[in-house]
Amino acid sequence: MSEASENRLGFSSVERVLDILLMFAAPGATGNAQSIAEAFGTSRSSTYRYLQVLRSRGLIEEVGSSGDYRISAGFAHMVSASVEGISPTAAAEPVVAQLARTVGETTLFTVRVGDRVQCATYTESPKAIRVGIDPVRETPIHIGSSAKTHFAFLPERERRRILSAIEGAARTKDERRICAELAKQLEGIHASKVARSCGEIEDGVISLSVPVFLPSGALAGVLTIAAPTFRMKSLDGLLSKLQEAAREIELTLAGSRNARAEAVRLINERAP
């Protein structure tokens, strides 16, 4: 069925995208382009486009190499967090503010949205000369310490997909070399759980990032300190404080989950 035919039947593209997303909401649900096209009576080309819309926004992800899709871990955990009454951003906000006061440098917490990384909450350095937040409000997933940390902890297939797209866009020898180095950097970040950057997003700025995990082990976000290079040649002296702050966010997220579970248990015990 063509898209024009679908629209004549009264189904808009937005409605179809939402219908497909709701289909994936069932526990353990998966689907591929062919099964979804058959289920909704859509053309193959339209179905691929709908799936790409959902995938590019981080709502679904591919399952292995089968061509099937499922709800993405990040989206599932975001929904779960909202149900439990606290989100990673809400848990991070007071920690980010306190860390910025402690270290005296700009501190931020980022989340991934599709193939990009967005600043969810931040506190700028109280010093007159400081790193501003504007350049990192939203960045590609392969530039800067925060974004690369998100990149490093993507599911392997998704990481390979983005790496292939970056490599495919490389036109010069230097660009291809940078792509090869990026793959090695991601392996190192995944192993060490630390990422460093200097001048990638803004000249004269260094940054240090660590991952923050949900109780399930999935990535909740990334915590970062950024400073001007004239003041600090390395941020490694602040690494322990950064890691302690990340752990504090993780404990808050775990505590919220445990508190809710305990409340449910008590309610069930009191039930007649």
Q: What does the pLDDT look like over 215-224, one tens digit per residue?
A: 878 889 999 9
Alpha-carbon torsion (159, 96, 263, 258), positive or negative: positive
Q: What is the pLDDT of residue 81?
A: 59
CA distance 100 to 209: 14
**Per-residue confidence at 189, pLDDT binned at 50, 70, 90?**
very high
Mean pLDDT to the nearest integer, 98-121? 92
As a whole number of angstroms, the distance between CA 136 and CA 184 comes to 23
162 burial level (CB within 10 Å; 0-12, 13-18, 19+): middle
Query: Tens digits of per-residue pLDDT, 8-28?
Result: 434 578 888 888 888 887 656
What backbone phi and psi angles, to 5 degrees, belong to 126?
A: -75, -5
Quick one: tokens of 43? 């053309």
- At residue 42 the predicted structure's pLDDT band, cuts being 50, 70 and 90, is confident
- What pLDDT, on the 0 to 100 scale, is given for residue 164? 86
Q: Are strands 195-198 and 205-213 parallel, antiparallel or unpaired?
A: antiparallel
Measured from the Cβ of residue 10, the count of other Cβ atoms closer than 10 Å reads 7
Nearest of 187, 185, 243 to residue 210 by alpha carbon? 243
Q: Give the pLDDT confidence score for residue 256 in this predicted structure.
A: 58
* pLDDT for the residue numbered 99: 97
* Of the listed ranges 65-69, 227-231, 249-253, the one predicted with least confidence: 65-69
Residue 260: its pLDDT value, please? 52
235 close to 206: Cβ distance less than 8 angstroms: yes
- pLDDT tens readout for residues 126-138: 999 999 988 788 8
Residue 238 scores a pLDDT above 90: yes
| CA 130 to the chain's CA centroid | 26
Per DSSP, what are the bridge partners of residue 197?
A: 207
- CA 9 – CA 6 distance, rounded (Å): 5
Give the pLDDT of residue 272. Answer: 41
pLDDT confidence band for 160 (50 / 70 / 90): confident
